[in-house]
Amino acid sequence: MTKGQQFAKTMRSNLGIGTRTRRIRKGIDLHADILECIQHAVFDAGWYSPEREELFRAAFGAWQSYNKHIAGYRANANVTSHINALSPWQFCALLGEMVDAEITNVGQGERFFADMACRLYAQAA
């Protein structure tokens, strides 16, 4: 199991996310909760167990890239729309994919989202 897959599995169990979990649960956006868990692992030492903290910290580059390009609407509009339409289960998988792609900074995230735009256009054609 890759580090990204371990991240996705641990994040899903941390928040109780299943394959049919909707994005909004009891008025709370689970995409924001997932990103907040990464933020707590990076900025609040001792928030999680050391193993879980290490896994969540690996997604810090993905967190930065998401905030800059998706939440900041710098990425292609189709990519932003696609990511916003993902279920929490799929969103964890996307962040895990970014961990496996070794996204450690915003520039690498920008290239990842540009490649994602090309894949989306190829699927639509």
Percent of the chain exceeding pLDDT 90 equals 97
Query: Which pLDDT score is estimated for 86?
Result: 97
- For residue 81, the one-letter residue type is S
**Rounded Cα gap, residues 110 and 70, in angstroms:** 10
pLDDT of residue 50: 93
Give 29's strand partners. 24
The per-residue pLDDT for 124 is 85
Cα distances (Å, whole numbers) of residue 103 to 58, 90, 122: 9, 18, 23
Q: What secondary structure does DSSP assign to 57-107, as a single string?
A: HTTHHHHHHIIIIITTT-S-HHHHHHHHTS-HHHHHHHHHHHHHTT--SHH
Please name the amino acid found at residue 75. Answer: A
Give the pTM: 0.94
CB atoms within 10 A of CB 35: 19
In the predicted model, is pLDDT for residue 125 greater than 80?
no
Give the pLDDT score at 20: 95
The pLDDT value recorded for residue 85 is: 96
Nearest-5° Cα angle at 36, 56 to 80: 95
Tell me the per-residue pLDDT of 15-57, one tens digit each, with 9 for 90 and over.
999 999 999 999 999 999 999 999 999 999 899 999 999 999 9
pLDDT band at 83 (very low <50, low <70, confident <90, very high): very high
Residue 106 confidence (pLDDT): 95
CA distance 108 to 61: 9
**pLDDT for position 29:** 96
Percentage with pLDDT > 70 across the chain: 100
